[in-house]
């Protein structure tokens, strides 16, 4: 008997947010294919810890379109379906916003290639699989964004711009791919990952107090939002779902 459990492919699946998303989707009964670039060890460790069975790991450099095309074919061969694509791969580097010279062309190109072009390329590669998903509401693309897209505050100016582009692309793709594929951004504020916990506690507390809820989001809360978009918000597309404690309320 064929396995009827939905399949989700998560780019950047071994990172702080990606691993929480993979764990949540697996616990909700999905088969999870974890995409990684430089984190093979972390991805293999993660897949062994996921609830359920049928999970897998795959090299997924999102800036390599031929590799993504081959990857989609491999997912089709191994699973026969892909119901959800979670674009969680992303890069950045802390550069003070006034220091324009430190934001060099190489970093700009890398951020835009990964955070924007990479997400688009993944959608393009997986489109035909997502179009045939039997999920209620159809196949789903979840772009993991950031409220930096709206407040223009973040690790550097180009990172903010890349997330703004991602949210805009979410809306364009939602129109272009409807009605068979839904496209939604999940937009966290600062998330209390292991990396953020390692930063200056005073700065971290200051950031938390800027949100009306007076705390940072957890990776698990972001993962829950991603899962809700896939399984529950079946009439939602082209939207930006914020997980920021109200930080964007001003």
| Residues carrying an active site annotation | 159
- 56 Cα distance to chain centroid: 18
Torsion from C-alpha of 53, 130, 91, 149, nearest 10 degrees: -130
In the chain the beta strands, taken as DSSP E runs, fall at: 7-11, 31-36, 56-59, 84-87, 139-144, 181-188, 240-243
Q: Cα separation of 212 and 235, whole Å?
A: 28
- 87 Cα distance to chain centroid: 4
* CA neighbor of 120 nearest in space, from 60, 170, 76: 170
Q: Prior bond to 179 cis, omega within 30?
A: yes
Within 13 Å, how many C-alpha atoms sit on residue 181's CB side?
Answer: 26
The answer to whether 243 and 188 have CB atoms below 8 angstroms apart is yes
């Amino acid at each position: 008997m064929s396995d009827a459990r939905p399949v989700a492919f998560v780019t950047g699946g071994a990172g702080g947010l990606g691993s929480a998303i993979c764990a949540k989707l697996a616990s909700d009964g999905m088969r999870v294919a974890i995409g990684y670039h430089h984190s093979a060890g972390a991805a293999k460790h993660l897949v062994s810890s996921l609830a359920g069975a049928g999970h897998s790991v795959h090299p997924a450099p999102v800036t390599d379109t031929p590799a993504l095309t081959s990857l989609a074919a491999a997912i089709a061969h191994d699973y026969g379906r892909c119901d959800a694509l979670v674009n969680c791969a992303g890069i950045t580097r802390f550069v003070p916003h006034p220091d324009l010279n430190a934001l060099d062309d190489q970093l700009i190109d890398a951020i835009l290639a990964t955070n924007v072009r990479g997400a688009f390329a993944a959608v393009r590669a997986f489109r035909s699989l997502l179009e045939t998903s039997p999920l209620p509401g159809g196949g789903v693309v979840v772009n993991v964004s950031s409220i930096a897209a709206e407040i223009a505050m973040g690790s550097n100016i180009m990172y903010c711009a890349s997330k703004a582009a991602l949210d805009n692309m979410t809306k364009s793709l939602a129109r272009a791919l409807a009605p068979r594929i839904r496209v939604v951004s999940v937009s966290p504020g600062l998330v209390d990952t292991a990396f953020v916990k390692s930063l200056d506690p005073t700065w971290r507390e200051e950031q938390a107090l800027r949100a009306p809820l007076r705390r940072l989001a957890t990776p698990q809360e972001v993962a829950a939002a991603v899962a809700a978009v896939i399984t529950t918000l079946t009439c939602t597309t082209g939207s930006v779902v914020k997980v920021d404690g109200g930080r964007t309320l001003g």
